[in-house]
Structure 1
């Protein structure tokens, strides 16, 4: 007995259809480029590094004034700041 044709199988690879669909979908969609978004938390961290640098400069200046003996405190301003800070809590 000789079988010339088998129904449904005409030499088509089922994976070939899937590849053609994937290629068509990729060609139809616009090319997606790389995209970078910086979160608000990261932006705050960038600002905080600037603030830290300013704080270090201020601390260095205060240390220098203390060692030179030129640093003078205002007791009233210190007391007011402490009362304002602890009064809010």
Structure 2
């Protein structure tokens, strides 16, 4: 057995091993991470649009049922012509 005195630098040989283990776990430990794909984002936006469209459709149904809905034939014809021109 070899004794080097009170100023011995390797006083606790296990302390270095514990520090090395702590450093290794800190660098390898990863936090949970969540990523939403572009497709999922598009699906979310599409669903929002569907909800807004559904509300609009319900409002139109109520107007039709109550007799308040009036069709503007000229505006309908213009939209149809513009649709077929740009195809």
User: Normalising TM by the smaller chain, what interval?
Assistant: 0.5 to 0.7
1:71 deviation in Å? Answer: 0.2
Corresponding residue for residue 12 of structure 1: none
Corresponding residue for residue 64 of structure 2: 66
Q: When the two structures are superposed, what TM-score results if normalisation uses the length of structure 2?
A: 0.64
* Runs of 5+ unmatched residues, structure 2: 1-20
Corresponding residue for residue 4 of structure 2: none
Of 76, 79, 83 in structure 2, the residue corresponding to residue 85 of structure 1 is 83
- Give a deviation string over 1:52-71, Cα, whole Å, max 9, x none: 11111111111111111110
* Runs of 5+ unmatched residues, structure 1: 1-23
Q: When the two structures are superposed, what TM-score results if normalisation uses the length of structure 1?
A: 0.62
Corresponding residue for residue 55 of structure 2: 57
Corresponding residue for residue 45 of structure 1: 43
Of 22, 32, 52 in structure 1, the residue corresponding to residue 30 of structure 2 is 32
Superposed, 1:10-29 pairs within 5 Å as 27=24, 29=27
1:78 deviation in Å? Answer: 0.9
Superposed, 1:2-17 pairs within 5 Å as none
Distance 1:86 1:32 in 2: 56
- Give the count of matched residue pairs: 65
1:47 deviation in Å? Answer: 1.2
1:76 deviation in Å? Answer: 1.4
